Amino acid sequence: YKVIVLGEQGVGKTCFLDKFLHNAHFTAYDPTHRESSRKHLRVDDTDYILDLLDVNATLFHESSQSRQGISWSALRQWLQEAHGIVFLYDITSRESYDRIVNKGFETACKYRNSMAGDGTPYPACGQRFGSVLVGNKVDLVKGKEMREVLREEAEGWGDVMNVRFFELDTFDNEKVHEVMRALVRAMVKAEKRDEEDIEQAKERAAGRKK
């Protein structure tokens, strides 16, 4: 399963992945090295292999076509094929939240595959993906004056978009794993819904031919 951790520069994407992959912070994570960004995760008695990519959402609103060693064409392919996306923002940065729930989410949806591997169009106008919205850096908030994004606001967006919401401190390894388990469940659900929709579309098409 391909997973993207998407967020603006400085929101803690590398810390999030380091904690999930190695239970440590800043362990020289290399997004271009496939082995170092692969993780086995057991969810609901099933083992999953996750390939993870840390993506700077700045790519979506700047003119440069290449950042952090990954080309725009390669990024588009990941956006097309990703089974899951972690939408990550910093709760002390209003801009990071606004950009990820607007431009970030919009771009992720825009580049989805329109057809399954056998050429069947996805009835939902694009391949579904599992996602979670994560507010990071709870450990930095000493008082309300440091927080720029209210939990209730982000939670409300998640409810409307049917996306599970979390707030976390990336030093909390168990919480990071809880987020990833929720993402896997969302990915499996999205994949199942696509399979059901495609099967129903094929049945309707076969019925029209009779």
Domain ranges of the chain: 2-209
Contact 100, 89 (CB under 8 A): yes
pLDDT at 29: 46
Summarize pLDDT for 16-42 with one digit per residue, the tens. 999 999 887 654 445 444 445 899 999
Residues 6+ apart with CB under 8 A from 188: 130
Cα 146 from Cα 169, distance rounded (Å): 15
pLDDT at 33: 43
What residue ranges of the chain have pLDDT lower than 70?
A: 25-36, 61-71, 143, 208-210
pLDDT at 36: 52
Helices (H), 9-70: 13-22
Homologous superfamily in CATH for domain 2-209: P-loop containing nucleotide triphosphate hydrolases (3.40.50.300)
Cα 154 from Cα 158, distance rounded (Å): 6
pLDDT at 141: 83
- Quote the tokens at residue 134: 């994560």
Summarize pLDDT for 157-172 with one digit per residue, the tens. 999 999 999 999 878 8
Contact 5, 53 (CB under 8 A): yes
pLDDT at 93: 96
The torsion defined by the Cα of 194, 108, 54 and 132, in degrees rounded to 10, comes to -60
